């Protein structure tokens, strides 16, 4: 990076510092001009300066107010998205727990059913049990021969 090259942050910091400096100078002029008003010694040029400074201060205030409003709206949108995501997580976890209970019951029933089936029927039950236990993928279970 050369001496003439500035990063985005440097540029932003510089603009922020320049605006703060302008604002401080304007406020110092306010104090001076208000002191002149208090003494009743405000010239037409000073009056014009006071009007311009007040206009600039109002414009800056309006810009900041709009920016803050936009930031608040963006924060509210993000907050709603986070709430929706958290709700989706809760629903997904509940569904997962329900499916886990069903899978456990199917596994238990498949284990019990194997002893009741005559002949080679137990192979099918064993495949179902292994699928429920996660020992087989659905593709592997479907590919196993049925006796």
Chunked mean pLDDT (size 10), the chain, 147 residues: 56 82 84 81 81 86 86 92 97 92 80 64 76 81 68
Q: Which two tokens stand for residue 93?
A: 């976890």
> What range does the domain containing 132 cover?
43-143
Q: CB of 42 within 8 A of CB of 50?
A: yes
Look up tokens 């001009």; give the residue: 33
What is the value of pTM for the model shown? 0.46
Domain membership of residue 95 (yes or no) is yes
How many structural domains comprise the chain? 1
- Helix 44-114 vs helix 8-39: crossing angle, to nearest 10: 140
The answer for residues whose C-beta is within 8 angstroms of residue 23's C-beta and 6 or more apart is 57, 60
Q: What is the pLDDT of residue 95?
A: 93
Task: Write down the number of H helices and E strands in the chain.
Answer: 4, 0
Domain membership of residue 22 (yes or no) is no
Give dist(CA 42, CA 46) in Å, integer.
6
What three-state secondary structure class fits 118?
Answer: coil
Which residue in 67, 48, 60 sits closest to 23, CA to CA? 60
Q: What is the pLDDT of residue 142?
A: 75
Domain membership of residue 82 (yes or no) is yes
Domain membership of residue 16 (yes or no) is no
Q: What is the pLDDT of residue 1?
A: 45
Domain membership of residue 137 (yes or no) is yes
């Amino acid at each position: 990076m050369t001496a003439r090259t500035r990063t985005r942050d440097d540029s932003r910091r510089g603009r922020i510092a320049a605006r703060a400096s302008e604002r401080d100078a304007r406020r110092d002029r306010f104090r001076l001009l208000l002191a002149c008003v208090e003494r009743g010694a405000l010239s037409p040029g000073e009056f014009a300066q006071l009007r311009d400074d007040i206009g600039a201060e109002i414009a800056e205030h309006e810009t900041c107010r709009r920016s803050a409003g936009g930031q608040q709206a963006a924060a509210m949108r993000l907050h709603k998205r986070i709430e929706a995501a958290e709700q989706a997580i809760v629903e997904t976890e509940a569904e997962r727990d329900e499916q886990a209970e069903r899978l456990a019951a199917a596994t238990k029933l498949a284990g019990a059913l194997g002893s009741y089936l005559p002949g080679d029927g137990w192979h099918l039950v064993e495949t179902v049990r292994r699928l429920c236990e996660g020992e087989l993928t659905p593709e592997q279970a479907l590919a196993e021969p049925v006796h």
